[in-house]
Structure 1
């Protein structure tokens, strides 16, 4: 198998099948010629692979899906229009028909809002845990209606690490799936499927694209989970939308086997709800992927320097960065993240809201932006921006207080970023 850097540039694309274009072309076409009646019928039923309508599949998007699946070690992927579309589609597909999800409270704010407030309107409910690595706490919440466990591999913004391997073993003993959000590390730093995760989701907007210029998301399937184990009627019930050539309804599990989850995402969720990845955004994401190893390696190196420096700065009372090596998760960092835990870190300052505002307004290099993984360094106050919709008690349980500041480290020189933070913090007091 080719190395990660090689696959980031070449996987999932054949230039000979695209008029020898070295860079993946942008297929700006809403629809594609079905060629003949039999092929059209088979494409629509999912019997034959190919392209008919860009709401379901597009050649540019397909190249992105194949490349990310290769980088994550999955059997396939479905790209969508945003990271939250990836999260909600994956959770809804697993929880359809009244299922429950066990999830960490320590999640991105919109994910908490979706699980705690919005998905229950669709009959999918969540049981939150304070510590996703407490197997007794998680196991006690798994009941007959539980369909999946959901966690972030590196939590945003606490950078707490999920111990994937024993969590996957627990999930599988109960016949439920482990779904993880791998946005912060990207597959360069962690491939969760190698440790037992069943479904991996990303906001490709972040580190994968890496330049803050394209919104997107992706769902990757390990292809190992048994969706026909009795907990997931949606995969074993015959569906007219994938009827065979005789018109007989068949189930997703029977028709698609190890790709049943991805095919249901594509044929039911993407086709019906329509959160479609645009070919142009897929193209920008493919460009970003080509430099993923180099960008993330540099960002991790700088983030580590910045985090260490902040531990010695006046008015900084706590630094959250699991990559420092002096945290209770030191062993997990060594096991899962030998290349580092990512470019995101957060820190608590003393004083009050006015001090936080002066720090945010006082930086000159850091952009006040609710994004992560950009080539530029970003700063934000999560309690007011990324987690504002999260109830206060849940926010505090995840460590998101009013005095918390989150950084996403970009590609600037480390000394310049440190100097910028020093002057902004000093000026705020």
Structure 2
């Protein structure tokens, strides 16, 4: 079988097992190197992608192909089979030879290759992000890991933002260097000179950032980073987990967009999933039977999970609008109380104008905000009262839930980073990251926050008693 598949790769035939998505100009269809076309693949051609990338995400989602159920149901059917039958023996040979497949006869072999339900979700994700193709995975980290292994390769180099989700930072700083000799240089991604200085032409394969950094909420200059990456022959990979619908990185020049679908896209804190959105040439290369990271590592999404997610995507734009509305209201009021707040929707945020310029109109500035309480002890006391006394929200990692979730990033989601790296990234020990939910009314939740904040201060009678004790002590001394 390997010889037969190799023969197909050598030709210009579109091999469904390897290439279920037709290329239309976003990638070099004839490039079949082991990096998925990373180093020398031609950059996206604007004419080929303008129609998709100019579309509003909500509009693009609504225009995506609707899958019907087997008997005409308005919801698509769940294809739960791990393997698929053929009616004639020769059909199996033709499937493995690439003559038949998902886009040639609507035929499938095995759900680790392609599953109809998961493939349908992939089409929706591609529409959402304005990319040519998308592949849905078992987790966000599996999506990130597979993309980096495919694009970078053994001994390659990555330039990454110094402020990343702790798991991604550990992947780049510890795991990939240990298992494949990949090296990473972490820089201030907002400093173009620093990014340029870190890039090694011919060696750097990927520039990696988050659209809005976890947890400091810095907004990446995606057009600038894309320009720097492409001039060096590298790819720009952007994690858009914090801002689905709000920002469309591919429209701004990113080559690949990854997601932890577990977060805002799912919205229910009940699913672990990921997605890779990008050129068909990349997704096809990642599904190569002999060299593809997705095919060989097997981070397969369950069809039942894909069905659940496909039912939630249509109302993602509405959810993101309300997450954003609540976050802006809370951030404005918190700042009015004198708290140190980071939220891109505030006019004094250093990247407010940037996000306003590149964001999709009408979807706000995202549902994440940070409050810096100075010390971990004060952060923990505030979160204790917010959950256990006033029921404002829940102490939990993750984000995108309809309830507000909060955590002290330095000791939780960024704990994989060494203390010196956290300091360089601007992650204060008392930084409380909040994923603002939309459950309950805004005024109800704000009253709960104010009560919790008041409990952080001693009652007035305790302050007076302490002052009296100090006065008595001072009198005795004299």
TM-score (norm 2): 0.77
Q: Is 1:8–1:292's contact at 8 Å kept on the other side of the alignment?
A: no
Alignment of 1:112-191 (within 5 A): 112-143=169-200, 144-186=202-244, 188-191=245-248
Q: 1:194: Cα distance to partner? A: 1.0
- Correspondence for 1:404: 431
**RMSD of aligned Cα (Å):** 1.9
Is residue 30 of structure 1 aligned with residue 103 of structure 2?
no
Is residue 331 of structure 1 aligned with residue 353 of structure 2?
yes
- Residue by residue, what CA displacement relative to the aligned partner does 1:166-223 show, whole Å, maximum 9, x if unpaired? 211111111110000011110x1111111111000001111111111111000011x3
Q: Is 1:356–1:428's contact at 8 Å kept on the other side of the alignment?
A: no
Q: 1:45: Cα distance to partner? A: 5.0
- Residue by residue, what CA displacement relative to the aligned partner does 1:297-336 show, whole Å, maximum 9, x if unpaired? 011011000111111235x3x2111111222213212211
- Residue by residue, what CA displacement relative to the aligned partner does 1:255-304 show, whole Å, maximum 9, x if unpaired? xxxx2311222332222212111112112211221211111001101100
- Correspondence for 2:315: 291
Q: 1:122: Cα distance to partner? A: 2.5
Q: Secondary structure at the match of 1:63?
A: helix
- Correspondence for 1:202: 259
Alignment of 1:91-106 (within 5 A): 91-106=148-163
Q: 1:99: Cα distance to partner? A: 0.8
Q: Is 2:370–2:433's contact at 8 Å kept on the other side of the alignment?
A: yes
Is residue 276 of structure 1 aligned with residue 300 of structure 2?
yes
- Correspondence for 2:365: 341
- Correspondence for 1:241: none
- Correspondence for 2:17: none
Counterpart CA distance in 1 for 2:397 and 2:312 is 19
Q: 1:74: Cα distance to partner? A: 0.9
Is residue 260 of structure 1 aligned with residue 281 of structure 2?
yes
- Correspondence for 2:453: 425
- Residue by residue, what CA displacement relative to the aligned partner does 1:145-183 show, whole Å, maximum 9, x if unpaired? 110100001111111111111211111111110000011
Q: Is 1:152–1:162's contact at 8 Å kept on the other side of the alignment?
A: yes
Counterpart CA distance in 1 for 2:376 and 2:118 is 43
Q: Secondary structure at the match of 2:128?
A: helix
Q: Is 1:101–1:124's contact at 8 Å kept on the other side of the alignment?
A: no
* Count of residues paired in the alignment: 388
- Residue by residue, what CA displacement relative to the aligned partner does 1:34-65 show, whole Å, maximum 9, x if unpaired? 44444423433555432211112111111110
Are the structure 2 counterparts of residues 35 and 211 from structure 1 closer, same or farther at C-alpha, using a change threshold of 3 Å?
A: same
- Residue by residue, what CA displacement relative to the aligned partner does 1:344-368 show, whole Å, maximum 9, x if unpaired? 1111014x43322221111113111
Based on CA coordinates, which of the two structures has the bigger radius of gyration?
2
Q: Is 1:382–1:404's contact at 8 Å kept on the other side of the alignment?
A: yes
Q: More deviation in 125-134 or 114-123?
A: 125-134
Counterpart CA distance in 2 for 1:151 and 1:3 is 23
Structure 1: any 5+ residue segments left out of the alignment? 224-258
- Correspondence for 1:227: none
Of 78, 86, 110 in structure 1, the residue corresponding to residue 135 of structure 2 is 78
Q: 1:420: Cα distance to partner? A: 2.1
- Correspondence for 1:394: 421
Q: Secondary structure at the match of 2:272?
A: coil
- Correspondence for 1:304: 328
Q: More deviation in 98-107 or 51-60?
A: 51-60
Q: Is 1:95–1:124's contact at 8 Å kept on the other side of the alignment?
A: no
- Correspondence for 2:405: 378
- Correspondence for 1:253: none
Q: 1:400: Cα distance to partner? A: 1.6
Alignment of 1:223-238 (within 5 A): 223=279
- Correspondence for 2:145: 88
- Correspondence for 1:255: none
- Correspondence for 2:466: none
Of 413, 416, 428 in structure 1, the residue corresponding to residue 444 of structure 2 is 416
